[in-house]
Amino acid sequence: MLVAHGVPLVNGRTFAELGHFAAVLTGLACYPPARGLPRRKTERAPRSNVPAQ
């Protein structure tokens, strides 16, 4: 992932490549703290009690 976004950053040096590389670094930095969190069960929102017309 770092190579895939690092090579275009070195070759192109545009704002978009810098942003993508920063997003990869942010995601990698946030992985260790998030890894220890318990998974939440997803529940659907309750449907309205109003009958369809």
pLDDT in tens, 4-44: 888 888 888 888 888 999 999 999 988 887 777 777 777 76
* CA of residue 3 relative to chain centroid, distance: 18
Stated pTM of the model: 0.59
Q: Which residues in 1-53 belong to E strands, given as ranges? A: none
Asked if pLDDT for residue 1 goes beyond 80, the answer is: yes
What are the tokens at 28?
A: 């990698």
Residue appearing with tokens 């318990």: 38
Cα distance between residue 36 and residue 33, in whole Å: 6
**Distance (Å, rounded) from C-alpha 19 to C-alpha 27?**
12
Q: On the CB side of 3, how many CA atoms lie within 13 Å of its CA?
A: 0
